[in-house]
Amino acid sequence: MAKLSEIARLVGGEVFGDGDIDIRRVAPIDGAGKGDLTFLANPKYADKLNRSQASAVLVTGGVEAPGEMARVVCANPYLAFAKALNLLQGEPPASRGVMAGAVVASSATVDEDVTVHPGCVIGENVSVGKGTLLYPGVVLYDDVTVGEDCVLHANAVVRERCRIGDRVILQPAAVIGSDGFGFAPDGPRYFKIPQVGVVVIEDDVEIGSATCVDRATLGETRVKRGAKIDNLVQIAHNVVVGEDTILVSQVGIAGSTRIGNHCTFGGQAATAGHLTVGDNVTIGGRGGVTNDIGDNQLLSGLPAMPHKEWLKASMSFGRLPEMRKEIGRMKKQIAELEKMVKEK
């Protein structure tokens, strides 16, 4: 619980109304009640706000609150909502140490201020930093490093020699450091190329459930600071994912591709291998990158093209069968006209 004025200071907002209201939680507009804080980030939900029972609301300038509802005016209500939610309902659980049923190698270094749940396996020479939380079934292979204040959810796996920074979140069943997909043709068969590199996950990265980040063949695969990766994403060997880049569900990044800072890949977007994608690039859902991409672009389609051009092209897709018939008729008419000209 916190005073509304305290929340306003946290989010950099200004209170209009009673700043001494006790706020117990953040709630959606249509489910909020007395003591709740809600938010309005999209004007189309303004009618719902008029019917809401919330005690206070986070809004942008120029938006009024109904009745006696207090409001906190801020530049970005959605960001303010996230910060308020973290304050009121995001407190991490207290440290519980290494619990019975966890298997920890004698050579591992595990800070006292951690929680290691039953069923975890921590290998030889592993280091786990202060405040980190390992849920049941987490496996850390030999020589892994995990930083401070990380959360590794159930059945996450970090393979040998990989390095995890501070404040990293691995959602359930995420796999860090699985073998890259490397095979050399050997006549009709394939010879497996040993994958002897590592994965480095920098600070403040979140990786979704069942996402795989493959270890490098040689050297490292790296996910840079602040990147956010959704569920079911595949990042192949020797890839570099830039700072604050977002990869949405089912994205696939082929081997040795380098993605710049602050990029966004929509769901099921993908790249071919050995490409470079610049900074501030957005690839629309199901977009396919087949060539290097420079900075500051918005692309869609396969192969990826400027988004506006893709919108124009996509409007023609449904008409292609009709257009094909029309072209056939026109070719026939031209042939008949050419014949008539020759006869004259």
33/106 same-domain check: no
Cα–Cα distance between 73 and 69 in angstroms, integer?
13
Q: What is the pTM of this model?
A: 0.88
Overall domain count for the chain: 2
The answer to whether residues 65 and 140 belong to one domain is no
For 125, the domain range is: 97-308
Residue 344 to residue 333: CA distance in whole angstroms: 17
237 a catalytic residue: yes
Dihedral angle, C-alpha 51, 54, 55, 58, nearest 10 °? -100
- CATH number for the domain including 31? 3.40.1390.10
Residues 10 and 135 in one domain: no
**Helix H or strand E segment including 85:** helix 77-89
- Which of 89, 111, 128 corresponds to the end of one domain? 89
Task: Determine, yes or no, domain membership for 335.
Answer: no
Q: What is the pLDDT of residue 344?
A: 67
Instruction: Name which of 69, 134, 143, 60 is nearest 102 in CA terms.
Output: 134
What is the per-residue pLDDT for 343? 76
CATH of the domain at 119: 2.160.10.10
Q: Which residues of the chain have pLDDT under 50?
A: none
Say whether both 151 and 183 belong to one domain: yes
Spatial distance between the Cα atoms of 160 and 157, rounded to a whole number of angstroms: 10
Asked if residue 315 belongs to a domain, the reply is: no
| 111 and 69 belong to one structural domain | no
Pick the catalytic residue from 117, 153, 237, 262: 237
Residue 342: the pLDDT is 80
Considering the domain architecture, whether residues 140 and 167 belong to the same structural domain is answered as yes
At 66-118, the pLDDT tens digits run: 888 999 999 999 999 999 999 998 777 888 999 999 999 999 999 999 999 99
| 199 and 286 both lie in a single domain | yes
What pLDDT was estimated at residue 41?
85
